[in-house]
């Protein structure tokens, strides 16, 4: 701050750098550019030194006086500040400009005593310290008073301070009692009439408000991640993929209808929501198990029992009765045909009909399994009695049957219809007499199924399944040889022979044997329709069965109601062996395990087993298997198990186990 001491007419200094006379340095305004007496002194004491760049002025110019004025104006402050006035909408110059120039500032912590803050601090100090503080305060106040004095005088002997200090000490002792109260806040209350009145504001009651939403529906879910569950998931995925692939394939080809059909089939099966159906498999298994429990001992015998007595019985065997199969629906019918299924060795087919010419009624086809002896697996009904049946080797679900009325039919076990899949009719060449035997043949060249049938009307017919129709071809018409009756008028009648049985050669495909009602056996060939290859005068009555030996391709066997069983070599016209069984023989069958064993059943309820290797003249087993009234009609060996099934004319089928003696296999012989 510059004390403005001299004021003179203000001249705007054009040149700031005015050197006064004799080479004084540049100085600021405030550094004493006083024109006055002081300059003379300066001038005298100094020697003029001229800097090289000094202005050279004339004397007149040197003497010229320049007045300089010290003002309190801030040289840095602008002189022409203008501000925008919103009222007038123009810039207006501000008249007064602040000329304050601050050169140095420092924030300190000294407070004037008399200010509010100072007093407050003061008061606080008094409160906190108490009596000591009060003493100090007093002493301080005394000192302060004292200090003020020395400040003014500037020469203060120490004794002066001591005296008033002593006086202050006295005062302190006197006022000690009174002062402690002073710092505390003293409430001045009326001693006689004072009531403290306090009031409390009303607190608003607090209330909790809650809201609960309805919980989302929850269920507990738990599962285990086992190895097999993962496997199942993968399998399902695979199936889905395959299905989609199939659907694509079904859609893409031209026959879109087939795709639609497939879709319809899918939907139709899915819509069957009857739950019980899903139990069918389980129910089946359960039934078998229940039966197994009931017939447990029989099952055990079937599997494991071997008659130990056979060791002691010299070459004689027995038949152990196992299961008995019967069905109420087939009660009054006779068993007319038996056949084991070539694929499922526990399944066998039974044909029911009647041999009685007078009493002809319906027929039945039942398929039983050894696993369930109480109820058949499949059951078919037909109008006419079934006389024969055969199961196809390669397609074990196809059963060919021949009826009493001459019709033949094919049943398909896979299809759930009770009707046969294919049936012959009067138009399509059915026989006019009962069909006594049917046999499947190999598929013909067009892969069509083919079977033969023989009947009493003398025709041997080959049936072929061409495009879902049975087409028949007469292979041979049996003629009675040697008896051409001469009828007047020159007509030649050829009496027709009645075929009752036939069998095809195992190896030579075209050769087969036919047995007739007259008792003759003809050896025929498929290719020759009129001529027989050979004729055998076999029996006196109708031939019931002819059968080639499965191992010896030259040997065959025949049986008849004339009580005999004969064994032939087809090259020789006379039989090799003849057995008389005292009763009409219903059926004979070769054993599949030995070339020398065969079984025969008779109408007196007995079963005879022969083993030519052991005993050429007698049966090694001669056992009644049914009541004497029951005539045994058929017998069949099981291909793998040591059992035989025997059917009788009451509709019963008995399963018997062969004892070890009956099952002796022939030893390997050296050829020649």
Q: Is 289 in the site for another protein (CB under 8 A)?
A: yes
Q: Is 31 in the site for another protein (CB under 8 A)?
A: no
Burial class (CB in 10 A: 0-12, 13-18, 19+), 536: buried
| Binding segment toward another protein, per CB under 8 A, in 8-16, 124-132, 295-303, 560-568 | 295-303
Q: How far is the CB of 334 from another protein (least distance, A)?
A: 16
Q: How far is the CB of 279 from another protein (least distance, A)?
A: 5
Q: Which residues contact 54 (CB under 8 A, 6 or more apart)?
A: 19, 23
* Of the residues 376, 434, 497, 586, which one makes contact with another protein according to CB under 8 A: 376
* Of the residues 297, 444, 474, 509, which one makes contact with another protein according to CB under 8 A: 297
Q: Is 380 in the site for another protein (CB under 8 A)?
A: yes
Q: Is 220 in the site for another protein (CB under 8 A)?
A: no
Residue among 170 and 275 whose Cβ is closer to another protein: 275
Q: Is 377 in the site for another protein (CB under 8 A)?
A: yes
Q: Is 625 in the site for another protein (CB under 8 A)?
A: no
Tell me the C-alpha to C-alpha distance, in Å, between residue 223 and each of 220, 229, 576, 582, 623: 10, 10, 75, 73, 63
Residue among 147 and 236 whose Cβ is closer to another protein: 236
For residue 620, give the nearest of 317, 309, 306, 321 by alpha carbon: 317
| Residue 125 to residue 119: CA distance in whole angstroms | 10
Give, as ranges, the residues between 155 and 194 that touch another protein (CB under 8 A): none
Q: Is 294 in the site for another protein (CB under 8 A)?
A: yes
* Of the residues 321, 495, 550, 660, which one makes contact with another protein according to CB under 8 A: 321
Residue among 153 and 289 whose Cβ is closer to another protein: 289
* Of the residues 135, 168, 172, 298, which one makes contact with another protein according to CB under 8 A: 298
Residues 34, 20: contact at Cβ < 8 Å?
Answer: no
Give, as ranges, the residues between 97 and 126 that touch another protein (CB under 8 A): none
Q: How far is the CB of 347 from another protein (least distance, A)?
A: 13
Q: Is 346 in the site for another protein (CB under 8 A)?
A: no
Task: Count residues near another protein (CB under 8 A).
Answer: 52
Residue among 71 and 381 whose Cβ is closer to another protein: 381
* Of the residues 6, 283, 627, 640, which one makes contact with another protein according to CB under 8 A: 283
DSSP-based three-state secondary structure for 439: strand
| Binding segment toward another protein, per CB under 8 A, in 410-418, 499-507, 514-522, 558-566 | 410-418
Helical packing angle, 256-271 and 227-251, nearest 10°? 140
Residues 182, 126: contact at Cβ < 8 Å?
Answer: yes
* Of the residues 42, 378, 397, 551, which one makes contact with another protein according to CB under 8 A: 378
DSSP 101-132: ------------TTSHHHHHHHHHHHHHHTHH
Residues 546, 557: contact at Cβ < 8 Å?
Answer: yes
How many CA atoms are closer than 13 Å to the CA of 340, on its beta-carbon side?
Answer: 20
Helix segments in 391-514, DSSP class H: none
Which DSSP category does 220 fall into?
Answer: -
Q: Is 278 in the site for another protein (CB under 8 A)?
A: yes
How many CA atoms are closer than 13 Å to the CA of 597, on its beta-carbon side?
Answer: 22
Q: Is 382 in the site for another protein (CB under 8 A)?
A: yes
Q: How far is the CB of 373 from another protein (least distance, A)?
A: 9
Q: Is 296 in the site for another protein (CB under 8 A)?
A: yes
Q: Fill in the per-residue mask, 225 to 264: x = in contact with another protein (CB under 8 A), - = not in contact.
A: -xxx-xxx--------------------------------
Residues 620, 633: contact at Cβ < 8 Å?
Answer: no
Q: Is 269 in the site for another protein (CB under 8 A)?
A: no
Q: Which residues contact 281 (CB under 8 A, 6 or more apart)?
A: none
* Of the residues 200, 280, 527, 571, which one makes contact with another protein according to CB under 8 A: 280
- What end-to-end distance do the CA atoms of the chain give, in Å? 158
Q: Which residues contact 8 (CB under 8 A, 6 or more apart)?
A: 67, 68, 69
Tokens of 474: 């007469």
**Residues in the site for another protein, rule: CB under 8 A?**
224, 226-228, 230-232, 274-287, 289-291, 293-294, 296-298, 301, 321-322, 324, 328-329, 331, 361-362, 374-383, 416-419
């Amino acid at each position: 701050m510059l004390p403005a001491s001299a004021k003179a007419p203000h001249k705007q200094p054009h040149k700031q750098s005015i050197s006064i006379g004799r080479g004084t340095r540049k100085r600021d305004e405030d550094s004493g550019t006083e024109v006055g007496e002081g300059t003379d002194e300066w001038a005298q004491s100094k020697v003029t030194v001229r800097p090289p760049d000094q202005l050279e002025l004339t004397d007149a110019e040197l003497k010229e006086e320049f007045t300089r004025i010290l003002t309190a104006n801030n040289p840095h402050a602008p002189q022409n500040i203008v501000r925008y006035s919103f009222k007038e909408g123009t810039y207006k110059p501000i008249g007064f400009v602040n000329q304050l120039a601050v050169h140095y500032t420092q924030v300190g912590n000294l407070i004037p005593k008399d200010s509010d803050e100072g007093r407050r601090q003061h008061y606080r100090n008094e409160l906190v310290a108490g009596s000591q503080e009060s003493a100090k305060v007093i002493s301080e106040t005394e000192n302060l008073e004292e200090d003020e004095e020395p400040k003014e005088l500037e020469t203060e002997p120490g004794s002066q301070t001591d005296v008033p200090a002593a006086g202050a000490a006295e005062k302190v002792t006197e006022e000690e009692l009174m002062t402690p109260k002073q710092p505390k806040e003293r409430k001045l209350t009326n001693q006689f009439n004072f009531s403290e009145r306090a009031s409390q504001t009303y607190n608003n009651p607090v209330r909790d408000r809650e809201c609960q939403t309805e919980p989302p529906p929850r269920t507990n879910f738990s599962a285990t991640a086992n190895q097999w569950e993962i496997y199942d998931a993968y399998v399902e995925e695979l199936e889905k993929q395959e299905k989609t692939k199939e659907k694509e394939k079904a859609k893409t080809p031209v026959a879109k209808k087939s795709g639609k059909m497939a879709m319809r089939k899918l939907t139709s099966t899915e819509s069957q929501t009857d739950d019980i159906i899903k139990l069918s498999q389980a129910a089946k298994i359960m039934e078998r198990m229940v039966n197994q429990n009931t017939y447990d001992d029989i099952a055990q015998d079937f599997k494991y029992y071997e008659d130990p007595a056979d060791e002691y019985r010299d070459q004689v065997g027995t038949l152990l009765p196992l299961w008995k199969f019967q069905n109420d629906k087939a009660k009054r019918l006779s068993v007319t045909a038996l056949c084991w299924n070539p694929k499922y060795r526990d399944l066998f087919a039974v044909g029911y009909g009647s041999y009685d010419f007078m009493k002809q009624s319906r027929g039945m086809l039942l398929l039983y399994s050894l696993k369930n002896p109480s109820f058949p697996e499949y059951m078919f009904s037909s109008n006419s009695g079934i006389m024969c049946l055969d199961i196809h080797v390669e397609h074990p679900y196809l059963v060919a049957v021949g009826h009493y009325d001459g019709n033949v039919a094919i049943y398909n076990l896979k299809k759930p219809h009770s009707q046969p899949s294919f049936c012959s009719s009067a138009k399509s060449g059915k026989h006019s007499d009962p069909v006594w035997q049917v046999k499947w043949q190999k598929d013909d060249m067009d892969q069509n199924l083919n079977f033969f049938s023989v009947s009493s009307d003398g025709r041997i017919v080959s049936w072929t399944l061409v495009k879902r129709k049975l087409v028949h071809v007469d292979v041979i018409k049996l003629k009675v040889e040697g008896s051409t009756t001469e009828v007047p008028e020159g007509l030649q009648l050829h009496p027709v022979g009645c075929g009752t049985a036939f069998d095809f050669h195992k190896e030579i495909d075209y050769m087969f044997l036919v047995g007739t009602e007259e008792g003759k056996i003809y050896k025929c060939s498929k290719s020759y329709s009129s001529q027989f290859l050979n004729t055998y005068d076999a029996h006196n009555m109708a031939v019931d069965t002819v059968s080639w030996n499965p191992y010896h391709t030259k040997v065959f066997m025949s049986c008849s109601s004339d009580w005999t069983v004969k064994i032939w070599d087809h090259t020789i016209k006379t039989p090799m062996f003849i057995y008389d069984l005292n009763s009409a023989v219903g059926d004979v069958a070769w054993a599949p395990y030995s070339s020398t064993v065969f079984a025969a059943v008779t109408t007196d309820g007995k079963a005879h087993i022969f083993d030519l290797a052991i005993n050429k003249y007698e049966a090694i087993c001669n056992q009644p298997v049914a009541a004497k009234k029951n005539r045994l009609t058929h017998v069949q060996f099981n291909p793998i198990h040591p059992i035989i099934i025997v059917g009788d004319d009451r509709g019963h089928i008995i399963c018997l186990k062969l004892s070890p003696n009956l099952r002796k296999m022939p030893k390997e012989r050296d050829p020649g």
